[in-house]
Chain A
Amino acid sequence: MAILEIRNLRKVFGSVIANDDVNLSLEAGETHAILGENGAGKSTLIKMISGLYKPDYGQILLNGVEQHFANPREAIIAGIGVVHQHFMLIPALSVAENVVLGSEGGRFLFRKKQAIDNVLRISKELGLPLDPAIKVQDLPVGMQQRVEIVKALYRNARILILDEPTAVLTPQETEELFAVVRRLNQDQIPVIFISHKLDEVREIADRITVMRAGKSVHTMPIADATAKELAQLMVGREVVLETLKTPAQAGEVVLRVENLSVRDDRKTTRVKNVSFEVRTGEIFGIAGVDGNGQTELVEAIVGLRKLEGGKIHFLDKNITSENVSSRIQHGIGYVPQDRQRDGLVLQFTVADNLVLRSVGAKPFSKSGWLQKKSTRANAEKLIKEFDIRPPLEDVQVGSLSGGNQQKVILAREMAREPMLLIAVQPTRGLDVGAIEGIHRHLLSLCEQGKAVLLVSLELEEIMQLSDRIGVMHAGELVTVMDAKAATRESLGLAMTGERVEEGVAP
């Protein structure tokens, strides 16, 4: 009998079907991988199993008994342990304190000795060396993950769910994690392993369930699965939508990136030795699963992040050591991923936001004085051109809808007539109409002979708009291919880190 069985699970949020007819069975001692793209419904499924969401339909059975978790605590008591992608640890507390937190035992006094003994015992059983006295904030990420695993086992987890556990790990840490997973399997504790990395899944899993668009598409033993087949199952085989664009006449090089390496805030190298060029008249798309270095790459190009190594040339000029504002002046437009966090001052009016990146230049200011008339005229013109609604220049941007906020950013960046527009996830969270409008604007830039660097997690969007497509995986530009030659399968495969034979080297 399966330890955990999921039957026809369904979860709907408003008009979005997050999970539909999901089936899964977990046998004792197996590692079961769930593979799927971003948005395939993996997290929703996990949240239902761990008691965060209630299913709209379907059953969750533990050892043949149907469960109705009212909250995560009930799921924990039932023996379900989850290690979330973002750790739920308190950095200022010690390992032992974190492990026993919420189930300390004892009535009033904290039984420190007992807590430490427990941690030592569990970590020894697992072959996970762990110092119970050290503070969590002083541990590297891989060790923090161990704390989470020990914490789950301390609560007598009989099923362990690991949500994208390797996303934050180094290759060595990943190996150590796999060793732990195998040991748990030996102890008859099954593990659900969520990932979108094919190679890892093939290394660790016994069986694999592929999810796509909220459904469990297929379950098979790992031995039967080829990478190509998995990629196909993962991305589906829908016909690619008609590209709207006419093929670009690749012109001069606008942006040339050479051997770029970039670290994130935690000093981990996120972009490794990336080189590519963007030419006039083309849209260069960068595809990839979220968190594979795209953000850091873009931030380095616009000047918001220091380089670890490499060079950036813009219009034959070395801009590697220039700051953000001089790169703006050279003509680099930038539509950031998080429009509210980075792209707008929500308390400012539409008109003020439309000059955010050019307020120091004529005609919006003269020797330091703001020129409100030209700011207003500029706003009126752009509101009309980009159909920003409501068509008022003196309302706060924060009161606009997401789509209109995005239009404000796009209008601002395009009005400066940049030679290169970098757009990261420009249509995230927008409705179909707004998406189409933004796509049209991006394409019009190309027709004007400008260049666009488009970073998106939506394969559809990348394939529809790009002339050439680069795929990033684990900080590397795995492949650069002609959009005409690219298929969902080949892209999907590259996104999981497989080198693609037909890919044309950059």
Chain B
Amino acid sequence: MSKRTQSLVLPLLAVITGLILGGIIMWVSGYKPINAYVALFQGAFGNSVFIANTIAGAIPLILTSLGIAIAFRTGLFNIGAEGQYWIGAMVGTWIGYNFPHLPWYIHIPFALIGAMVAGGIWGGLIPGLAKAFVGAHEVITTMMMSYIAILIGHFMLERGPMMAPGYNPQSPLVTMSATLPTLVSNSNLSAGIFIAMVAIIVVYLLLFHTTFGYRLRTVGHNPMAAKYAGMNVPLFTIYSLGLSGVLAGLGGAVQIMGVDHQLTDTFSSGYGYTAIVVSLLARNNPIAIFFASVFFSALSTGSQVMQINSGVSPNMTDVITGVIIFFVATDKLYSYFRGKFRRSSKAQSEQKGVSVS
């Protein structure tokens, strides 16, 4: 199997296995899996509003996954995208309701850029600097920073400075000038999809058509070779985690300005974590991230209709997601074991040649 077909076939296999195993579980529990999946599909793609909602749900996943993919490509694991997403949403909301007199063409970019900068500092700069200068592992630092971000978010809303008058833990609504227009009426699909598409193209070009991306990837694959080629490895660590945070922050702001219009206690539904799965499934390919995001979003939007039509709990989709994660991970295991096998047989043959000292 060539590398390219393998990177296409294995994730597809993981998805199919996930769906089949999910079907078996439904069947064993006394449901009709075919009916359930038909309902799931209809709920995700059955009419224009459903399609629009599915795509809308993919937007924050796309943006956040792109960020995680950049980090992965540099050999870094940004596990704290959830918190960067929160920070972006918080800053986007704050700018969104605080400057009512700005025209939209200033207000919207202002809010988006503010969120990107905040996400970048939170997810990238701080963990990036910590990694580059004192060697603190980014898995720990991004995760801890993520908790801090989410809890700050709750603090802001629960009688904190961003709480709207009243008793509910929610912020004021962002003004019209900071709202991304809805594209399909009665749906959540906003102009944010254009931002997501542009981000896909930008990240793709950045990774594969610029010297910057070439260097990021070199650092990711082989930091020793990067040093040898005269690249500043710590600097690229900071860049990479920074960009990762920028995209997650952007995701948060786009979600606020396009869908939620205000920050609430129940704002994120774990996009930052699902995004890790999306990146893995898409093998950090920006274009594949689009399809993987739509897929996971479809599971979530379709599950409502699945429950109504076939009685299967929407939690079933979590089971399917879990199985897919498992197989994406084992697919890594698969290549790991294959690599191991190759290495050990190679080591054996090398031993024959080298250890003659």
Using a CB–CB distance below 8 Å, which chain A residues touch chain B? Answer: 13-14, 16, 18, 38-44, 47, 214, 303-304, 323-328, 334, 336, 341-348, 352, 356-357, 359-360, 365, 368-370, 372, 396, 429
Q: Is the CB of B355 within 8 A of A342?
A: no
Interface residues of B in 306-357 (CB under 8 A from A): 349, 351-357
CB pair B357–A323 under 8 Å, yes or no, is: no
Question: Among A304, A365, A396, which residue has its beta carbon within 8 angstroms of that of B228?
Answer: A304
Contact A304 B211 (CB under 8 A): no
> Bound state CA distance, A345 and B221, in angstroms?
6
Q: Is there contact, CB below 8 Å, between B225 and A342?
A: yes
Chief secondary structure at chain B's binding surface: helix
Binds A, one of B122-130, B149-157, B212-220, B275-283: B212-220
From A18, A44, A370, B211 is in contact (CB under 8 Å) with A370
In the complex, B137 has a CB within 8 A of chain A: no
Given A41-B356, A326-B230, 5 more pairs with CB closer than 8 A: A13-B351, A345-B225, A365-B210, A365-B211, A429-B353
Q: Nearest-CB distance from B51 to chain A (Å)?
A: 36
Residues of A within 8 A of B224 (CB): 341-342
Provide the residues of chain A in CB contact with B222, threshold 8 Å.
Answer: 341, 344-347
Given A39-B357, A42-B357, A369-B210, A345:B228 Cβ within 8 A = no
Q: Are B230 and A13 in contact (CB under 8 A)?
A: no
How far apart sit A121 and B254, CA to CA, in the bound complex (Å)? Answer: 72
Nearest chain A residue, comparing its CB with the CB of B209: A370
B229 within 8 A of A: yes
A16-B353 contact given A360-B211, A370-B211, CB 8 Å threshold: yes
19 chain-A/chain-B pairs, Cβ below 8 angstroms: A13-B351, A14-B352, A18-B355, A39-B356, A40-B357, A41-B356, A44-B355, A214-B356, A325-B229, A325-B230, A328-B229, A341-B222, A342-B227, A356-B229, A357-B228, A359-B211, A359-B214, A365-B211, A369-B211
Confirm or deny: B101 has a beta carbon within 8 angstroms of a beta carbon on chain A.
no
For the complex, give the distance between the alpha carbons of A38 and B356 in Å: 9
A40 to B357, CA, bound (A): 6
What chain B residues lie within 8 Å of A304 (beta carbons)? 227-228
In the bound complex, do residue A38 and residue B357 qualify as a contact, i.e. CB atoms below 8 Å apart?
yes
Question: Given A356-B218, A359-B215, A368-B211, A328 and B230 touching (CB < 8 A)?
Answer: yes
A328→B227 CA distance, assembly (Å): 12
Query: Which 5 A-B residue pairs are closest in the complex by CB-CB distance?
Result: A325-B230, A13-B352, A324-B230, A14-B352, A18-B356
Residues in B with CB closer than 8 Å to A38 are 357
Q: Evaluate whether A44 and B218 lie within 8 angstroms (CB atoms) in the complex, with A325-B230, A336-B228, A359-B211 already known.
A: no
Which residues on the B side are within 8 Å of A357 (C-beta)?
Answer: 228-230
Contact B353 A13 (CB under 8 A): yes
**Closest Cβ neighbor of B214 among chain A residues:** A359
Shortest Cβ gap from B60 to chain A (Å): 29
Least distance between A86 CB and chain B CB atoms (Å)? 13
**What is the minimal beta-carbon distance from A403 to any residue of chain B, in angstroms?**
13
Q: Chain A residue with minimal CB distance to B215? A: A359
Distance between Cα atoms of A479 and B95 in the complex (Å): 71
CA distance A303 to B227 in the complex (A): 10
Neighbour of A334 across the interface among B208, B209, B214, B228, CB < 8 A? B228
**Residue among A40, A42, A356, A365 having the largest count of chain B Cβ atoms under 10 Å:** A356
User: Smallest CB-CB separation from B352: which chain A residue?
Assistant: A13
In angstroms, Cα B208 to Cα A21, docked, is 57
Assembly CA distance A324 to B226 (angstroms): 11
| A358 closest partner in B (C-beta) | B229
CB of B69, distance to nearest CB on chain A (Å): 16
Task: Tell me whether A324 and B228 are in contact in the complex, defined as CB-CB below 8 angstroms, given that A344-B222, A359-B211, A369-B210 are known contacts.
Answer: yes
Least Cβ–Cβ distance between B211 and chain A, in angstroms: 5
Q: Which residues of A have CB within 8 Å of B231?
A: 325
Q: Assess the B210–A368 pair: CB atoms within 8 A.
A: yes
Given known A-B contacts A346-B222, A360-B211, A365-B211, A13 and B355 have beta carbons under 8 A apart:
yes
Write the nearest CB–CB distance from A69 to chain B, whole angstroms: 18
B225 close to A343 (CB less than 8 A):
yes
Nearest residue in B to A302 (C-beta to C-beta)?
Answer: B228
Q: How far is the CA of A324 from the CA of B229 in the complex (A)?
A: 7
Whether A343 contacts B228 in the complex (CB less than 8 A), given A13-B352, A14-B352, A370-B214, comes out as: yes
Question: What separation, in Å, do the CA atoms of A387 and B101 have in the docked complex?
Answer: 68
Bound Cα distance A343, B214 (Å):
16
Distance (Å) between the CB of B74 and the closest chain A CB? Answer: 13
Contacts of B227 in A (CB 8 A): 304, 324, 342
Smallest CB–CB gap between B213 and chain A, Å?
8
Contacts of A42 in B (CB 8 A): 357
| Distance of A320 from chain B, by nearest CB (Å) | 16
Closest to B350 in A: A429
Contacts of A41 in B (CB 8 A): 356-357
